[in-house]
Amino acid sequence: MKANVRDASNVRIVDLSGKMTLGGGDVVVRDTVSNLLKEGHKQIILNLSNVNYIDSAGIGELVACKKRAAAAGGDVRLLLPSESVYKVLSIVSLHLVFQIFEEEAQAIGSF
């Protein structure tokens, strides 16, 4: 998995690509979000448009990122999950926990 961080005003957008799985993608997401929080960036959007697979470790890491952000006074929101990723999110009811957006501008404006 690869992660690229972009700035949009006070929001950091993390463009993720690849598989969010145990021992690979979950570590990339954890490290990226943790570093952003350490730098004081509390408004984070994870762009999932190029994530083609997510397993239970990836799901767990999304929840952990949201929890760490909330503890720091921030939030993590999701952008453009693929159909397969959205199915997994909805099966475990995370579509009720995360704010999920189809448009980047709308996600940025939600903060």
Which structural domains are found in the chain, ordered by start?
A: 2-109 (3.30.750.24)
For residue 9, give the H/E element and its range.
none
- What pLDDT, on a 0 to 100 scale, did the predictor assign at position 38? 97
Q: Is the pTM of this model over 0.85?
A: yes
Which has the higher per-residue pLDDT, 46 or 9?
46
Q: For residue 23, what pLDDT band results from cuts at 50, 70 and 90?
A: confident
- What pLDDT, on a 0 to 100 scale, did the predictor assign at position 67? 97
- What pLDDT, on a 0 to 100 scale, did the predictor assign at position 96? 92
Residue 15's DSSP bridge partners are: 4, 47
Q: For residue 45, what pLDDT band results from cuts at 50, 70 and 90?
A: very high
The residue written with tokens 């952003």 in the block is 36
User: Can you tell me the distance from the alpha carbon of 81 to that of 54, in angstroms, rounded to the nearest whole number?
Assistant: 10
**53-65 average pLDDT score:** 95
